[in-house]
Amino acid sequence: MGDVQKIISRRKRQDFLFNILGIICTLIGIVTLCALLGDLIIDGITRVDWDFMTSFPSRFAERAGILSSWVGTLLIMLVTASTAVPLGVAAGVYLEEYARRNWITNIIEINIANLAGVPSIIYGLMALGLLVYQFHLGQSILAGGLTLAFLILPIVIVATREALRTIPQSIREAAYALGSTKWQVVRHHLLPYSTGGIMTGIIIALSRAVGETAPLITIGALTFIAFLPPLPVQSEAPFVSLEWLNSPFSVLPIQMFNWVSRPEREFLTNAAGAGIVLIVVTLSMNALAILLRYRMRKNIKW
């Protein structure tokens, strides 16, 4: 009996020490993050104003702005989300619900898992050879958006599959027992119930894409651009224009990289201000995704 009490006491001490270690590691990460954010805000908050948001880049730090960069960021993310989200969700549903379990699907699953960990610069090199040179898309918004879509596509697929796996098998069996087809089960039961997990994966994927620099530099994104893409809406028929997809672009991370490489202190302040805007854009995208996830969950009929 005494040996059992000693073992229990030793296990409790180990659990206590492990909890303390986990708390310390978590605090280190939180404190480091808060310190970095605080330093960024102190350096750049004075630079963020209306003129900074509505001015084009300039070789004079006091006149430089991020208009073309944040517009380019939003357009790139629009193309990325429009491409990666439907393709990733569809691929995840097919692999989890429709594909047969054989050696081909096993190879596909292994490759998808490996692609999720490939460095982003590899996607940039692939897009340079395939999209820019082979398909002749040039250094355009379309090429940049597709590059980031390739980058986050494995993340969306894996998140979709994991969300579908959390749904009890009894729901599928009950739907089939009532005469539902495979697609009806997926559409009316699996996708609504797995919305939370899928949207979480999409949020993580888009958060990664919005801060990427290496693949966009590889395909030829500009570090200095003093014009905006054509408007997508026209006053004449057909009233919708896709010319903006072929326009050159810059994004906030590339603009920050350009300013940080300058020796003047004022450009470092501009980079910090652009970093604040990038954080706000990322948080806004996440908030929108969370809102959509909440509304879709609310509409589920249990």
Kindly report, residue by residue over 152-174, the tens digit of the pLDDT. Answer: 999 999 999 988 888 888 888 88
Domain map of the chain by residue range?
1-44, 48-298
Find residue 101's DSSP bridge partners. Answer: none
Query: What count of other Cβ atoms lies within 10 Å of the Cβ of residue 133?
Result: 12
Residue 301 has a pLDDT of 56
Q: What pLDDT is recorded for position 239?
A: 67
Kindly state the tokens that stand for 93. Answer: 């549903």
Predicted structure pTM score: 0.84
Regions of the chain short of the pLDDT cut 70: 1-2, 235, 237-239, 297-302
Q: What is the rounded radius of gyration, in angstroms, for the C-alpha atoms of the chain?
A: 24
**CATH superfamily placement of domain 48-298:** MetI-like (1.10.3720.10)
